[in-house]
Amino acid sequence: MNKFLKPGIFILSLIPFLVIISKIYFNQLGPEPVKEITHHTGEWTLIFICLTLAMSPLKRFTNLVIWIKFRRMLGLFVFFYATIHLITYVVIDYRLDWQQIFNDVLKKKYIFIGFSAWLLLIPLAITSSQKMAKLLRHNWKKLHRLIYIIAIFGSLHYIWLSKTIFFKPLIFMLIVLVLLALRIKIKKRETNYG
């Protein structure tokens, strides 16, 4: 049973990607196709950030180690969707118009913080393998705490690009904050007992 769990989650995680591919193929992206791809991949990046962050609290609440086994894969899907999101913006929307893109990154805080979040994801993706974890030892754990910052950046990116915080940007922010708050508690307990 457990043998099939990981491949199963892998396939499930690919569904949002397949949905957008089929929408492109069947021309079902609606009146603003580029925006649809950007929003779809952006939203799924945030969902995968939340899923990744949910694994260690889940491990704690259910007393099952299995959750941690999915974490790396989910984290890599964050990078996967964030990268498609970025490519859509740079290649399809702005057609490599570097001057405008450069301008956007500097002048628009939501793009600045979104781009920063993507940059921070790179070292995490590179060092995601077991080998790298062994190589970096305790530094690996420290490095991968960057995901907390990435999660906050991602949620701010969504809030700042929306006309109003109602409702999705607000919901994502609350979920991220709860997931981060759960960690503060866990840590306190650990130090108390440790």
- Contact flag: residue 32 with another protein (CB under 8 A): yes
- In order of 24, 36, 54, the CA distances from 167 in angstroms are 27, 18, 21
- Contact flag: residue 25 with another protein (CB under 8 A): no
- Contact flag: residue 30 with another protein (CB under 8 A): yes
Contacts of residue 83, Cβ cutoff 8 Å, sequence gap at least 6: 118
- Contact flag: residue 96 with another protein (CB under 8 A): no
- Contact flag: residue 21 with another protein (CB under 8 A): no
Q: Shortest approach of another protein to residue 69 CB, angstroms?
A: 36
- N- to C-terminal Cα distance for the chain? 35
- In order of 105, 145, 153, 160, the CA distances from 112 in angstroms are 5, 21, 10, 11
Q: Contact with another protein (CB under 8 A): which of 6, 35, 142, 189?
A: 35
Q: Which is nearer to another protein, 134 or 163 (CB)?
A: 163
Instruction: For residues 123 and 101, give the distance between their C-alpha atoms in angstroms, rounded to a whole number.
Output: 23
- Contact flag: residue 98 with another protein (CB under 8 A): no
- In order of 92, 125, 163, the CA distances from 122 in angstroms are 22, 5, 29
Which residues within the stretch 135-154 sit at the binding site for another protein (CB under 8 A)? none
Q: Which is nearer to another protein, 30 or 194 (CB)?
A: 30
Q: Shortest approach of another protein to residue 127 CB, angstroms?
A: 34
Instruction: For residues 88 and 190, give the distance between their C-alpha atoms in angstroms, rounded to a whole number.
Output: 43
Q: Shortest approach of another protein to residue 78 CB, angstroms?
A: 24
Sites of contact with another protein (CB under 8 A): 24, 26-35, 37, 92-95, 100, 104, 107-110, 160-161, 163-164, 166-167
